[in-house]
Amino acid sequence: MSETIGMIGLGNMGTPIAENIQRAGYSLKVYNRTASKAAALVASGAKSVSAAAEVASKGGIVITMVSDDKALEALCSGPDSFVSRLGAGGIHISMSTIAPATARRLAAQHEMLNVAYVAAPVFGRPEAAAARQLAVCVSGPAAARTKVSPILAAVGRSIFEFGEDPGAANVVKLCGNFLLASAVEALAEAFTLAEKNGIERTRVFKMLTQTLFPCPVYQGYGQRIAEHSYEPAGFRLALGFKDINLVLQTAAEVQMPMPTASLLHDRWLSAMAKKRENLDWAAVALGVSEDAGIKV
């Protein structure tokens, strides 16, 4: 394919996503604050640029995968941003996990420049991204969604459409992350209950995930929690804390009580206070053990 896609953000998720886009035959222009992270992509034919706006071409497509709302808004702001450089007919695919309100605000700003904003947050850890097994949630203008669907198909095993509201896909993403965080807490409590009763954690993990809960979430996180294995981080605890805050923020905006999310917030806040922000987010399970008087 002759089309060149711009990519901003080459972290644990952005890099494998970019690699799959490249394998699908697209040319890439990439930007990352730490330029060395682009080395493997450059070796495969991508062009690394020194400023984020340089990934964009007039009427083209740019994908962003950055850490939070603040980082994304900074990239999209100002007359020298990549959004301004895209101009009429351009499309911005935002794959970051951000607040739905931020997505809607950015979409309105993009529209003033005749740039389409497509929200496309994903479910899956880095290994799923590398294997092209992500689940992609998409919302935004119908014509833009149709145009970018081959690109999204190159990075995920399934694409789920949620209409034209640019915030809708991020609502779904936050719902999913809330359920994941709830599963982490539940697994930690169950395994710790077993341990306090003299039963080896990994034995309980194996039994439950081979019978009642034979699903990727319980199997993947269950093993980490049963073994207290939290490095390397597939998804940093600090990012999980950010997402739980976004869940509560989004719930408050529509007057939706979420008592479980409030509990999760305190669990993650405690882990952050104990300087565990760079461990995998499943490391909040350490707090469950500590509450039970178990030293890990």
**Looking at the structure, do residues 175 and 160 belong to the same domain, yes or no?**
no
Does residue 201 fall inside a structural domain?
A: yes
**Looking at the structure, do residues 261 and 135 belong to the same domain, yes or no?**
no
Number of domains the chain contains: 2
Q: Region 22-39: what's the mean pLDDT?
A: 94
- Quote the pLDDT of residue 184: 98
Q: Is the pLDDT assigned to residue 2 strictly greater than 70?
A: no
Q: Is the pLDDT assigned to residue 31 strictly greater than 60?
A: yes
**Looking at the structure, do residues 16 and 125 belong to the same domain, yes or no?**
yes
* Share above pLDDT 90 across residues of the chain, in percent, rounded to a whole number: 98
What distance, in Å, lies between the first and last C-alpha atoms of the chain? 52
Q: Please give the positions annotated as active site.
A: 173
Does residue 296 fall inside a structural domain?
A: no
Does residue 124 fall inside a structural domain?
A: yes
**Looking at the structure, do residues 212 and 244 belong to the same domain, yes or no?**
yes
Does residue 27 fall inside a structural domain?
A: yes
- Output b/e per residue, 191-230; b: 16+ Cβ within 10 A: bbebbeeeeebeebbeebbeeebeeebbebbbbbbbeeeb
Last residue of a domain, one of 143, 164, 185: 164
CA distance 167 to 250: 11
**Looking at the structure, do residues 206 and 105 belong to the same domain, yes or no?**
no
Last residue of a domain, one of 130, 164, 198: 164
Q: Region 38-59: what's the mean pLDDT?
A: 96
**Looking at the structure, do residues 104 and 229 belong to the same domain, yes or no?**
no
- Would you place residue 41 in the very low, low, confident or very high pLDDT band (cuts 50, 70, 90)? very high
pLDDT tens digits, residue range 115-174? 999 999 999 999 999 999 999 999 999 999 999 999 999 999 999 999 999 999 999 999
Last residue of a domain, one of 140, 164, 188: 164
**Looking at the structure, do residues 181 and 236 belong to the same domain, yes or no?**
yes
| Paired residues of 119 in beta bridges | 94, 139
Single-letter amino acid, residue 200: E
**Looking at the structure, do residues 8 and 113 belong to the same domain, yes or no?**
yes
**Looking at the structure, do residues 130 and 260 belong to the same domain, yes or no?**
no
- CATH number of the domain to which 37 belongs: 3.40.50.720
pLDDT tens digits, residue range 240-257? 999 999 999 999 999 999
Q: Region 39-49: what's the mean pLDDT?
A: 95
Residue 88's Cβ-count burial label (10 Å; 0-12, 13-18, 19+) is: exposed
- Collapse the DSSP code of 143 into the 3-class scheme (helix H, G, I; strand E, B; otherwise coil) and give the result: helix
- Quote the pLDDT of residue 3: 87
- Would you place residue 110 in the very low, low, confident or very high pLDDT band (cuts 50, 70, 90)? very high
Other Cβ atoms closer than 10 A to 133 = 16
**Looking at the structure, do residues 76 and 221 belong to the same domain, yes or no?**
no
* Share above pLDDT 70 across residues of the chain, in percent, rounded to a whole number: 99
Identify the domain containing residue 252 by its residue range: 171-291
Instruction: Categorise residue 81: left if φ over 0, alpha if ψ from -120 to 50, beta otherwise.
Output: beta
Asked whether the whole model's pTM tops 0.85, one would answer yes
Q: Region 178-185: what's the mean pLDDT?
A: 98
Give Cα separations from 104 to 69, 109, 137 (angstroms).
Answer: 12, 9, 15
- Quote the pLDDT of residue 56: 97
Q: Between helices 168-196 and 216-227, what is the axis angle to 10°? A: 50
Q: Are 146 and 160 in contact (CB under 8 A)?
A: no
